[in-house]
């Protein structure tokens, strides 16, 4: 065998060894990769189980709010409060600061945190919550509720819109919680409900606060459930005609409620196919008699009491035959919760 042949043999042997080493390395890498994937999958499964255990058993009202709706409102509130220049921003600058959200109304129910957070997110700040929506704040006179961090001028841009929102929402949730507790204490089976008597442009926040306070929101708007009031009836000629005309449009997918001033009107509404009758401005004793008579004749009919109901006289309207009690005072004339946001002085 000449030198050239020996060289070729050596080259082939060398290349075969290299290929074997490469193959073994590749197989080893593939094995390690497979083990890594399995490890990640196992870790993922364990994390999912752990997360499932951590999730609260109760439903979270905030999960019903579309994120884009919260962002839209936050942008609108900021634009309303600072449509142009912010001259005061010059004196505070862009330094990072920390501010504490303080609640000064003990035994209040917190509500509105998604909106509060959205306002500060829009201006580049962060919020860390100590309490969550639905929690009772207190019993101290002043309670640290959350901490906001961000550039000074940006934080101060969001301060007033955010405080307005959370003060109003928490006030409504607190009143709703008190009313719900009254109903529960009396063993009443029905629902305390809000109305459409909400602040223009602020309905989503106020309806959300009702949810947090554990009462019914009632219908969201005119596109939801149909409610035929006295003006609808007068304009159409009769309750029967009003129900008939409305049913031809809304079909099976929407309930129809009729506002009634007497038992006779309620009977006409029920016979015309209404799902709910509102006994409007009935005194408690008259309400109980009318509701009892209607339930006896129309078992599936839902009966709502409304008009003149206040936190002071709510208990007088509780009845086994009344399914809903709606109250405009949930949003109208409702006290707000006192919050303030205090920027902390830098430690020298």
- Alpha-carbon torsion (204, 205, 207, 208), positive or negative: positive
| Ramachandran region, residue 183 (left: φ > 0; alpha: ψ -120 to 50; beta: rest) | alpha
CA distance 179 to 214: 9
| Ramachandran region, residue 223 (left: φ > 0; alpha: ψ -120 to 50; beta: rest) | alpha
**Which helix (H) or strand (E) covers residue 155, if one does?**
helix 152-185
Beta bridge partners of 226: 256
Active-site residue identified among 43, 197, 229, 345:
197
Beta bridge partners of 258: 228, 277
CA distance 120 to 216: 29
Burial class (CB in 10 A: 0-12, 13-18, 19+), 294: buried
Closest CA to 183 of 17, 343, 51, 314: 314
Those residues with Cβ within 8 angstroms of residue 284's Cβ, 6 or more apart along the chain or in another chain: 313, 316, 317
Closest CA to 67 of 20, 104, 121, 16: 121
Q: Is 197 a catalytic residue?
A: yes
| Ramachandran region, residue 173 (left: φ > 0; alpha: ψ -120 to 50; beta: rest) | alpha
Closest CA to 302 of 315, 280, 321, 319: 321
Closest CA to 134 of 63, 186, 194: 63
- The encoded tokens of residue 68 equal 């884009």
Closest CA to 61 of 122, 118, 134: 134
Would you say 286 and 263 are in contact if contact means Cβ atoms under 8 Å apart? no
Which residues are known catalytic residues? 197
């Amino acid at each position: 065998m000449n030198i050239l042949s020996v060289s070729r043999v050596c080259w082939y042997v060398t290349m075969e060894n290299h290929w074997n080493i490469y193959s073994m390395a590749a197989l080893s890498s593939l094995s390690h990769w497979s083990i890594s994937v399995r490890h990640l999958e196992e870790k993922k499964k364990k994390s999912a189980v752990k997360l499932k255990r951590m999730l609260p058993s109760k439903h979270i009202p905030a999960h019903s709010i579309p994120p884009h709706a919260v962002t839209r409102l936050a942008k609108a509130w900021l634009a309303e409060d600072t449509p142009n220049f912010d001259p005061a921003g010059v004196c505070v600058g862009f330094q990072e600061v920390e501010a504490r959200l303080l609640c000064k109304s003990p035994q209040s129910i917190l509500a509105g945190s998604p909106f509060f957070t959205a306002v500060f997110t829009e201006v580049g700040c962060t919020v860390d919550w100590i309490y969550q929506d639905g929690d009772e704040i207190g019993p101290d006179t002043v309670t640290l509720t959350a901490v906001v961090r961000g550039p000074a001028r940006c934080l101060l841009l969001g301060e007033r819109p955010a405080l307005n929102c959370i003060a109003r929402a928490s006030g409504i949730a607190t009143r709703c919680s008190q009313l719900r507790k009254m109903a529960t204490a009396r063993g009443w089976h029905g629902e305390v409900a809000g109305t459409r008597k909400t602040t223009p442009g602020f309905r989503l926040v106020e309806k959300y606060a009702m949810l947090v306070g554990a009462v019914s929101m009632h219908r969201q708007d005119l596109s939801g459930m149909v409610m035929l009031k006295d003006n609808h009836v007068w304009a159409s000629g009769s309750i029967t005609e009003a129900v008939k005309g409305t049913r031809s449009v809304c079909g099976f997918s929407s309930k129809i409620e009729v506002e009634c001033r007497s038992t006779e009107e309620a009977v006409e509404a029920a016979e015309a196919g209404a799902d709910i009758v509102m006994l409007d401005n009935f005194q408690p004793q008259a309400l109980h008699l009318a509701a009892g008579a209607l339930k006896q004749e129309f078992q599936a009919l839902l009966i709502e009491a409304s008009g003149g109901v206040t936190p002071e006289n709510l208990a007088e309207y509780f009845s086994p035959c009344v399914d809903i009690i709606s109250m405009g005072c949930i949003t109208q004339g409702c006290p707000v919760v006192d919050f303030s946001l205090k920027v902390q002085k830098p430690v020298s």
